[in-house]
Structure 1
Amino acid sequence: MHKKHARLALMLLPLIAASAHADQWADIQSKQTLGCGVYSDVPPFSSPSPSTRQLEGMDVDLCAALAKHLGVKLELKPLSGEARIAEVKMGRVDVVVANLAYTKSRGQQIQFSDPYYVAKEVLVVKAPLADKPKAYFEGKRISATKGSTSEQSIRMAKATPVTFQDTGSAYLAVQQNKVLGVVTNTMSAKKLVSQAKAGGVELGITAEPMALEPISVGMKLEQPVLLDKVNQALYAMDAAGEIDQIWNKWIGPQTEYNLVREERVQKLAEMKFEALE
């Protein structure tokens, strides 16, 4: 019996060690550093400063505020959009703050904090159609970039997606009357409307979003302590007005993006929205 117990203890040792190592919050505290993944070059979220070549942007400032509230130093880790999920899963970054939207498939791979804002997929149409409800476009041809969440949102709205390699080509299809509108994120949509107006074309954005995308901090699965710490920090940042300050600096009403922050940090589990795949 004693030998069996000894063998069992030896078998359990690697599991115990792995479990201890898996506590990412303990690791962060031990190294006193938060490894925060951000875009390598996607302004205004994170891109090299023209003067200093240091990364700057909305997500960089959010990482700095998050690290401050967690009581640790910040280590920025630039990565591509495609690598955001993989880098978190493999533990190469502690968190990712890179305009990361919650989707069903991503939610099976990593865990998400409570969102600090809600991005919207919106429909850009010629001005006379801007006051039409979303239901009006059911069965109609709508353009988007291929493989994007914009394409998914068109299908969710029961419209017919016509896809292109880039937003410019998708918009050209609107100009050529091949589709009734183009779906993209709010920031890109406002740019399209502004650029079209400068060229003498009147466009509008329909009032009802095609889809909602909660933007959150991404972390490795099964890290409840880290998730709780990040959520606590986000609510504290919100209450102190820090998120508003960062927002207004980079994408607020006085910037070229002219976006108003409408939502506060809120519980992801209590949000009422149809998640994209």
Structure 2
Amino acid sequence: MKVKLKRLITCSIVTGTLALAAGSALADQLTDIKAKGELVCGVLGTDRPFSFIKNPADREIVGYDVDFCNAIAKALGVKPVLKQLATAARIPELQQKRVDILTASLTHTKDRESQVDFTLSTFVLGEKALVRKDSGITHLAQLDGKKVMTTKGSIEAINIPKALPNATLIEFDTNPEGILALQQGKGVAYIDDETTLGGALVKLGPQAKDYMILPESLASDKDALGVRKDEPAFKAKVNEILLGMEKSGEAQKIYDKWFGPNSGMNFPPRSFKIDSDQI
């Protein structure tokens, strides 16, 4: 009798332990984030004005994407933590759970939907080309058959061969490296989203007068925040926060801060709303 009772108690303990372990395994990401008290956001840190290093002395990263990270963390009641990533490393870092969310100039594409889930679109922009004014190039079609450059792992690296099948594509780890290569004459154009190119011109200072952004767009992109697949509660919460930011006017204020008339970006007024995840 005592042996049976002992076995029964042991079985109950084991069953309880397994149930506890199963419960822990089933805990969703939203619960985990609140429990650890921080939201780890993957950012580029090299893509002005989305995320860039404001002051080399303290390495503080600021920008449009950073403000969204901060706003989401605040709404969740946790601390925002930024982790700087290379463009090509964004999705792998998210999949390997080294970051909780990508606020990193991530373009929503059908191909990427198999690897990551996307929130509502947070920015709409065009892919354009930056060239030297003395190159004689005034239209995108003139780039076909020439050396053009972009960032490794970017949506532009996918779209350039489609739009310019005869061009020689040269890829760099970061857009500052690509802009420098353009200055050094390693290619005739650097292709990126129009906001990144606008930020690059600002950074070029007096030399900006020697460059121009071609008027046509290679493609139109919708940027969104990236979240891991199979985390519906977290994705739904982030979308709820984004919709709230749109409704309250906070999203508009963030846009104006980084792209408005006082930003130095010389960018047109905001023509989109955060209300859809369709591409």
Report if TM-score (shorter chain) is over 0.5.
yes
**Per-residue deviation, residues 120-171 of structure 1 (Å, max 9, x unmatched):** 21134677864x5x6x569654612374433422222254222235344346
Matches within 5 A, 1:67-86: 67-70=73-76, 72-81=77-86, 82-86=88-92
Match of 2:120 in 1: 114
Task: Give CA-to-partner distance per residue, 1:58-87, whole Å, 9 cap, x none.
Answer: 2222111112233x1223132222432233
In 1, the alpha carbon distance for the partners of 2:207 and 2:59 equals 32
Contact 1:35–1:93 (8 Å) recurs in 2 = yes
Using the alignment, how far apart are the partners of 2:157 and 2:233 within structure 1? 36
Tell me the SS of whatever aligns to 2:121.
coil
In the alignment of these two chains, the number of paired residues is 253
Q: Does 1:224 align with 2:232?
A: yes
Give matches, 1:188-267, under 5 Å.
188-190=196-198, 201=210, 203-207=212-216, 209-260=217-268, 261-267=270-276
TM-score after normalising by structure 1 = 0.72
- Structure 1's 200 and 87: CA in aligned 2 closer, same or farther, altered over 3 A? closer
Question: Which moves more between the two structures, 229-238 or 185-194?
Answer: 185-194
Q: Which runs of 5+ in 1 are unaligned?
A: 1-5, 176-180, 272-277
TM-score of the pair, normalised by structure 2: 0.72
User: What value does the CA root-mean-square deviation take over the aligned residues?
Assistant: 3.8
Corresponding position of 2:181: 169
31-40 or 47-56: bigger deviation: 47-56
**Is the contact between residue 149 and residue 187 of structure 2 (CA under 8 Å) also seen in structure 1?**
no
Q: How many angstroms apart in 2 are the aligned matches of 1:126 and 1:55?
A: 29
| Counterpart Cα distance in 1 of 2:251 and 2:232 | 23
Is 1:185 aligned to 2:193, yes or no? yes
Q: Which SS does the other structure have where 2:99 is aligned?
A: coil
Q: Are the equivalent residues in 2 in contact too, given 1:46–1:60 (CA < 8 A)?
A: no
Unaligned runs of at least 5 residues, structure 2: 1-10, 173-177
Cross-structure match for 1:160: 166
- Residue by residue, what CA displacement relative to the aligned partner does 1:170-227 show, whole Å, maximum 9, x if unpaired? 463676xxxxx553221343467786995775745223x2122321111111011111
CA–CA distance in structure 2, aligned partners of residues 137 and 18 of structure 1 = 58
- Quote the Cα distance in structure 1 between the aligned partners of 2:118 and 2:48: 23
Counterpart code for 2:83: P
In structure 2, relative to structure 1, the CA distance for the partners of 1:238 and 1:99 (3 Å cut) is same
DSSP 3-state at the match of 2:39: strand
**Which protein has the larger Cα radius of gyration, Structure 1 or Structure 2?**
2
Contact persistence 2:146–2:187 (CA under 8 A) = no
Do residues 101 (structure 1) and 110 (structure 2) align? no
Structure 2 contact 94–102 (Cα < 8 Å) conserved: yes
Q: Tell me how far apart the structure 1 counterparts of residues 209 and 55 of structure 2 sit (CA, whole Å).
A: 33
